[in-house]
Structure 1
Amino acid sequence: MANSSAEILAFLLVISGWVLVSSTLPTDYWKVSTIDGTVITTATFWANLWKTCVTDSTGVSNCKDFPSMLALDGYIQACRGLMIAAVCLGFFGSVFALVGMKCTKIGGSDQTKAKIACLAGFIFILCGLCAMAGCSLYANRITSEFFDPTYIAQKYELGAALFIGWAGSALCIIGGSIFCFSIAENNKTPRMGYTYNRAASAMTIGTKGCNGSADLKMPRAPPKHFDKNAYV
């Protein structure tokens, strides 16, 4: 019962983390910067993995898609690949988790389901690591430009999408670890010790002879004691 509860908890964590990681791809604010006027914010600059935009004080946004994938910066291409890989890994991990959980009716025997659930946990750990690497790479570029005194272009700050991605990746890693540890605890079943009492037999098997055949030794009969009138 405890293992089933741990699996259900792990499944809820990894699904929540996968949804959060998937939601970061279309999220607008990966990085954001504002230009403040005397009273209100006059313009907000923001960008994500697909486009860069500016929003004025009236709420009107003007966006520009990145012209070519081959002309993009290397870190944006790497972030795209890592986030897409995380989403794909999360999908396959969800399928394996459903098959490997004890509360489902598919997957075969308990040993087979345990192996599938452990594989699902490993996949979700990889999903969380990919998402965390993608968000961290993007954040590292933002912070390095922000604190660089020689960088004279528009400086940005960390957007909400990065924090959502970090939270989702952490949930995937935690849930995948719980999957693996729950299966490991399930396999540690105590074994009962049995003592073998050799049954008494009329014949005992001796050691093998020189020709490889077993020598059968018949038990000796107890000595008979005859009195003096035995043959009378």
Structure 2
Amino acid sequence: MRKRLIQIFGFLISSLGWLFVLCTMAMDFWRITQLGGQGGSFIIKVAWYWSNLWKDCFTDSTAVTNCRDFPVLWSVTPFVQGVRGLLMCGLTLGFFGVVFCFVGMECTYIGGADKTKDKLLFAGAVFHFAGGVSDIAAYCLYINRIARTTFAASLGPGVLRYDLGPPIFLGLVGTFFIFLGAVLYAVTVCRVIVPESNAVYAYGGGTYMIPRSRGRTLYTGYYRPTGRYGSYLGSGRTSSSNISKLSQTTPTKISERDAFV
């Protein structure tokens, strides 16, 4: 029950994170700057310049917005094209991660045996993590570009100093949710990640080993408690065969009652 609740919580958290990332691709004000606002006593003129992944826009104090769409794909600014590509790759990986995790969850009745479902869930967690890395790389690339322009000592003519907009912060929060969901998935299938190791216990001269496979026990080595009781060598089928041979070669005594009958 606890495993099922953790998986459901991870599914909700990761899905919410991917929803945030998807929304940021369609949102405006990835970067924004303001000019004016301190004019004369009677008329205050303000202008806002803002951009997203698809266009550059200008809004004046009368709420009139003029936009210029970015040109075709191969002539877009390189860093904008890189951010687009990284976000699309992350969303693609996230789609496969959501499908694998949904099939591999314990509360769903598809996916096969428990071991197969655990492997699917682990694969989905890996897809979530890879998609989150791709998304956070996209946001960091955009932030680095804005920061380099904002904190530059001198700028050329016509270059504005922009600030970061709300979509960047929303995307970072969504990426954090994606990583958290991937960690919750991985915690529930940690036995698949780290298989059971062999445990060795020694008592006197004997050795006991626990194999990796379930349902089987392996006894290896030899056990010699004292020389008084002889020795025991081997394990499994070899020991049983030796005992059977010994019983065949050992003469049996017939009691007087059996001989009389």
TM-score range (shorter-chain normalised) is 0.7 to 0.9
Deviations 1:74-112 (A, max 9, x none): 211110000111111222211111111110111111111
Which residue of 1 is the match for residue 226 of structure 2? none
- The correspondence of residues 1-232 of structure 1 with structure 2, limited to 5 A, is 1-38=1-38, 42-152=46-156, 153-185=159-191, 205-206=241-242, 217-221=248-252
| TM-score computed with the length of structure 2 as normaliser | 0.73
Return the alpha-carbon distance in structure 2 between the equivalents of residues 2 and 109 of structure 1.
19
> Shift in Å at residue 222 of structure 1?
5.9
Give the partner amino acid of 1:24: T
Q: What per-residue deviation string (whole Å, max 9, x for no partner) do you get for residues 122-176 of structure 1? A: 1111111111100010000000111111223111011111111111111111101
Deviation at 1:69, TM superposition (A): 2.0
Residues 22, 87 of structure 1: 8 Å contact kept: yes
Deviation for aligned residue 1:120? 0.8
Q: CA deviation at 1:56?
A: 1.1
Q: Scaled by the length of structure 1, what TM-score is found? A: 0.82
Shift of residue 183, structure 1, vs aligned partner? 0.8
CA distance in 2, matches of 1:24, 1:164: 7
Query: Taking every aligned residue pair, what percent have the same amino acid on both sides?
Result: 33
Equivalent-residue separation in structure 2 for 1:37 and 1:206 (angstroms) = 100
Question: Could you say which residue in structure 2 is the equivalent of 1:228?
Answer: none
* Structure 1: runs of 5+ lacking an equivalent: 197-203, 208-213, 225-232
Cα distance in structure 2, aligned partners of 1:98 and 1:134: 26
Q: Out of 91-100 and 67-76, give the one that drifted further.
A: 67-76
Larger RCO: 1 or 2 (CA < 8 Å, sep 6+): 1
How big is each residue's C-alpha offset from its partner over 1:7-49, in whole Å with a ceiling of 9 and x where there is no partner?
A: 0111011000000010010111111101132275611111011
Counterpart residue number, 1:230: none
Q: Distance in 1 between matches of 2:93 and 2:184?
A: 17
Letter in 2 for 1:177: V
Q: Secondary structure at the match of 1:46?
A: strand
SS at match of 1:52: strand
Is the 8 Å Cα contact of residues 128 and 171 (structure 1) preserved in structure 2?
A: no
CA distance in 2, matches of 1:164, 1:32: 15
1:54 partner letter: F
Q: CA 1:42/1:7 → structure 2, altered by over 3 Å: closer, same or farther? A: same
* 1:178 positional shift: 1.2
Structure 2 CA distance for partners of 1:195 and 1:82, relative to 1, 3 Å: closer
